[in-house]
Amino acid sequence: MNLLSPIKDHHSERRLFIGRVILASVISTILLGLVIARLVQLQVFDHELFAQKSQGNRVRIEAVPPIRGLIFDRKGRVLAENVPAYQLELIPEQVNDIEDTLQRLAAISLIEADAIPRFLELSRRGQQFKPVTLKFSMTDEEIANFAIQRPRFPGVDFQPRLVRHYPYGELFAHAVGYVGALNTNDMQRLDSARYAGSSHTGKTGVESSFENELHGFAGYRHLITNARGRQVPADSSELLDSLPIDATPEPGNNIYLSIDLDLQRVAFEALGERRGAVVAIDPASGEVLALVSRPSFDPNLFAVGMSATQFGELQNNLDRPLFNRAVRGSYPPGSTIKPPLALAALETGATNLTRKSACIGYFQLPGDEHRYRDWKPQGHGPVDLHDAIAQSCDVYFYELSRDLGIDNMHEYLTRFGLGNATGIDLIGERPGLVPSREWKQNNFHGDNRRWYHGETVIASIGQGFMLATPLQLASMTGTLATRGSRMQPHLVAAIEDPLSSARRMISPKSLGNVGIGNEFYWDNVLEAMHDVLQGPRGTARAIGVGAPYTMAGKSGTAQVVSIAQDEEYDEEELEERLRDHALFISFAPFDDPRIAVAVIVENGSSGSSVAAPVAKAVMDQYLGYGNASTE
């Protein structure tokens, strides 16, 4: 063993140390180079890109909702407008105890207590710096009340906004409709970009069916924000100058209706407090001149927001004020279908102008003991087709139905527009029903699929399965007035660009002709309708005789409950809601028809004494013999 060998090799250690220093220096130099290169890239080559991103962190784009288009009547009077109103708003991040604040607002009657859970949910779900609207429109009293107590409610304030307003309230509720707050279903079907910033959309009536025209297109503006996204004052004019130009919202188009305000008011008031509907149209163009459904409601309640209690009262009202009877109410048309059935019978040879029936007050099918009663218990005596229409003899049409048959009845009534939607420019129209053998086979089971002769008999006076809307009856009356020419009913007459004032007129649309070309048939049936009102024995002569113009019409009643064969039918003893519906159709002037009207009064009993005066009042006003003042 060599006891003199060295403990350390200083030379080797030095070389190792120098190597490590060199390696560390090289790595450090490389890393420093990479950092410098990255800084050069960020500061020089990518400066513009990251400057824009940095600015984007400070700038928020906020949607600006468009101004909704206005709705006018045919004479340019405003039916739906936008008015300034103060909204009560709460900013969640500025309120320490939101639930306590809402409870105290409810205690001073500024909000409804039953709405508190909904407001709590909205305040939790949205961004904390964005306001939650508690009330869409505040009265002067509410503003004054809150102004006094404002120090008690930090984070709550009222702000000016535009809200939809309907100056004539319930008068146009079913025709113009109303707007309501956007809900989840609305946002799923609507263009989110177009509705950015909007809070309302059309729910019913013209407001809904012409939503695409009325709404317009949203704009946007750039806001300077802090790191939390809240708006702050701009501290640099250079920054503002570098922002893109804000996009101005495009206002919605204005809508001009064919409805006349004065005529609408007369029709509404003529119905009084009774349940029913009135529809008046121009037979030559299909323009709807009046469309009334009663009872009605104030559409402003929906535009500014209502409590759950208020909505419940409307929805649960036995008289159904929210229901549009004019286009959705399906009623048995009663004897109002006798004129088109008479034309069908003449055209098919089921009857002629000289055929007479002996009306003894009832009719029986061969081999059947059941009596189909006439409205006149003692009967009308011998009647021909003209008398059967003018005096509304049921027995004549009972007998006629055997030769005409249900399938011919179905074909010709369908030609006059019954049993199908008219295609009016409103959403939710009901099609009514004109039965046939095929219809019954497709909608019933077993033995019930068979069509019975008795069903044809009652169908001939508009009972049984037969259903029609007041709008369909008005359209049918217009077709009678024009001797077979059908025009599609429409409410909107023109659409106007609010910026250029250019108007796009809505052209009348023909639905063809019913295909009855014999003018002699038309002369006889229409003359019989004239005698309903102005003949010596017409059912509605009480309102027609002495009128300053000639007119034609047909009364009708629709039975609501069935009466047994051996029971006397005394309506005075029936509960009011079980009495017959009263119907009346009419057009005038007789030789140059300018207006066709259909009226139904629910449980009104008599078409000639209850519904006919309503139609007469509407025709008087339109033809210049009314007393309504023009604004």
Contacts of 23 (CB under 8 A, 6+ apart): none
SS3 581: strand
Give the CB-side neighbour count of residue 144, counting CA atoms within 13 A. Answer: 3
Active site includes 335? yes
Distances (CA, A) of 475 to 252, 305, 322, 331, 492: 31, 36, 23, 15, 16
Q: Residue 502 and residue 124: Cα distance in Å, rounded?
A: 46
Q: What is the pLDDT of residue 219?
A: 85
Read out DSSP for 111-175? S-GGGHHHHHHHHHHS-TTS-EEEES---HHHHHHHHHHGGGSTTEEEEEEEEEE-TTGGGGTTT
Mean pLDDT of 304-322: 86
Q: Is residue 35 packed enough to be buried (19+ CB in 10 Å), middle (13-18) or exposed (0-12)?
A: exposed
Q: For the chain, which domains are there?
A: 261-571+581-594+611-622 (3.40.710.10)
Do 522 and 485 form a contact (C-beta atoms < 8 A)? no
Q: Convert the pLDDT of each residue in 352-395 to its tens digit.
A: 999 998 999 889 898 888 899 888 889 889 999 999 999 999 99
Do 587 and 552 form a contact (C-beta atoms < 8 A)? yes
Distances (CA, A) of 257 to 173, 177, 343, 481, 490: 14, 13, 34, 23, 9
Selected residue with higher pLDDT from 95 and 69:
69
Q: What is the pLDDT of residue 205?
A: 96
The pLDDT-based confidence of 571 (bands split at 50, 70, 90) is low
| 3-state per-residue secondary structure call for 174-225 | CCCCCEEECCHHHHHHCCCCCCCCCCEEECCHHHHHCHHHHHCECEEEEEEE
Q: Residue 104 and residue 153: Cα distance in Å, rounded?
A: 9
Q: Residue 70 and residue 81: Cα distance in Å, rounded?
A: 5
Give the CB-side neighbour count of residue 183, counting CA atoms within 13 A. Answer: 7
Q: What is the pLDDT of residue 59?
A: 61
Closest CA to 268 of 289, 288, 290, 292: 292
Mean pLDDT of 81-106: 84
Q: Convert the pLDDT of each residue in 474-503 to its tens digit.
A: 999 999 999 999 999 999 999 999 999 999
Percent of the chain with pLDDT over 70: 87
Q: Which of 123, 137, 209, 335 is catalytic?
A: 335
